[in-house]
Structure 1
Amino acid sequence: MAICPWCEAGTISSVSDTVYWELPDGTRAVEITETPSLACANCQAKFQSDEIVKEIENQLFLIDTKLLEKKTTYNELMTMKRLLKRNYFDFS
């Protein structure tokens, strides 16, 4: 079991959660429901893994965000048609 990075005392488990994300151009934020997340039973922190954060941010760079509703599910976001094959600005 993984230990919570926030309180360093509790164990974390996988959950689905609603998150709010600012678009790369800063024009607005979107609500993303059913997002894979982690939760700590001890401190009640809910957060996303680095991998999920990177997936969301990359997808928001690659899609036409004008077509994105104010509210979407994680799966709907990740299956939206991409304008580019990959994020050419990610040098990691």
Structure 2
Amino acid sequence: MLRIFIPILTLIFIIPAQLHGQTLPELMRQAEGLAAAGDQSGALHMLKEAYIQQWLKTPLAISKATFVSKRSEGYGKYHQRADNVFNAG
């Protein structure tokens, strides 16, 4: 049980503490090194951390907006408008 518990604590507390404050290029280089060494899981973790750090620095933006013709019937169930022309007023 202890053999499993200690690595889990390491992943939860120590590794994120070490990643804090690293720059995006540093995280990308580490991910590249881990991938080259065959540690795909570790590389993915570094890439996720880099993504999160960059996301937190990015202002809110809407990459895609869709106008709908009537109220949605549920998540992903919508009727897209044929155009983006609206009545004045």
Name which structure has the greater RCO, CA cutoff 8 Å, separation 6+. 1
TM-score by length of 2: 0.23
TM-score of the pair, normalised by structure 1: 0.23
- Whichever structure has more strand as a proportion of its residues is 1
From the two aligned structures, give the one with the greater helix fraction.
2
